[in-house]
A and B are shown apart, each in its own frame.
Chain A
């Protein structure tokens, strides 16, 4: 599971230029949608083929205030000329729409209002979203922006495999104990010979990325001067 957040009051234009920079529609959005699009960007920007249309990722937004900040702008515009550009953002779910448009997510988009941030309820809803047989990944966001200046904004990205994978005993070859220098990404059955992804200096004990049976000749992906490499 990946998680990101945007501190309250941060300069969103600066963050946009740093994280995106190629999406002029950003400037038409309300604060909540800007936060949503940026959180999503930070979570998925390194994914391969990220702009390929897909139905298997659900986008869920949770909030207490919903579209309150933009509601206030629209209400002010009502006094002389009601603004259509503001009105279209006076919905808690527009955030998910903007994320869907930017990233070509044609799966489920949902919006919920909670009394307060409740990680248990958010997790609940993420699990429920996987009841849709097509959904294999969930982008969940807590975006509470009662005004344009202050907010809480956090995002999570979870895949179905993560939820389903059983926890496994993890052995690390470096100095024992989890976290003793291993990448932590490999999970093995108990007592399986474990080789992790560290690449040693020339002559140094070399650990590679293949996990072989004890005693088995194995080849690694690491590129160093070891002549036994493929």
Chain B
């Protein structure tokens, strides 16, 4: 019984680790792709903190056209259709929030 519980714990722990690793990879992939899509020249994924705000002066300084371009980006790369810029602003709060949304809604 104890051995079974230990195995379950091990499986769950491994699954959590895999999921975290998976998310880490997705966030990194997103950072690379967004840098390219928005012409954020000279930036590397290391320059963008996972939770850093993307919009506004404290963030990457993205603007309304970037929101629209990111909406196109999501559909093109992950098959996700956002209806409007308002929805976009919710999803694009930070790389971590975006990655979470992509993981849940991607169709490709």
Residues of A within 8 A of B (CB): 13, 24, 26-28, 80-85, 88
Contacts and interface: CB of A to CB of B under 8 A. Distances in A.
A83 B72 contact: yes
A171 B66 CA distance: 59
A80 B76 contact: yes
B29 interface: no
Contact of B65 (A24, A81, A82, A85): A85
A85 B69 contact: yes
A7 B42 CA distance: 24
A28 B39 contact: yes
Contacts of A81: 72, 75-76
A85 B38 contact: yes
A81 to B, nearest CB: 5
B52 to A, nearest CB: 15
Interface of B: 38-42, 61, 65-66, 68-69, 72, 75-76
A214 B41 CA distance: 61
B69 A83 contact: yes
Nearest to B37: A85
B41 A13 contact: yes
B72 A28 contact: no
B65 A27 contact: no
Contacts of B69: 83-85
B40 A84 contact: no
Given A27-B41, A83-B72, A85-B65, 6 more contacts: A24-B42, A26-B41, A80-B76, A81-B76, A84-B69, A85-B39
B56 to A, nearest CB: 15
Nearest to B69: A85
Contacts of A28: 38-39, 65
A80 B77 CA distance: 12
29 contacts: A13-B41, A24-B40, A24-B41, A24-B42, A24-B61, A26-B41, A27-B39, A27-B41, A27-B42, A28-B38, A28-B39, A28-B65, A81-B72, A81-B75, A81-B76, A82-B72, A83-B69, A83-B72, A84-B65, A84-B68, A84-B69, A84-B72, A85-B38, A85-B39, A85-B65, A85-B66, A85-B68, A85-B69, A88-B65
* Max count, chain A CB within 10 A of own CB: residue among B40, B61, B65: B65
B32 to A, nearest CB: 16
A77 to B, nearest CB: 8
Closest 6 CB pairs of A and B: A27-B41, A84-B68, A27-B39, A85-B69, A28-B39, A81-B72
Contacts of A83: 69, 72
B68 A27 contact: no
Contacts of B68: 84-85
Nearest to A25: B61
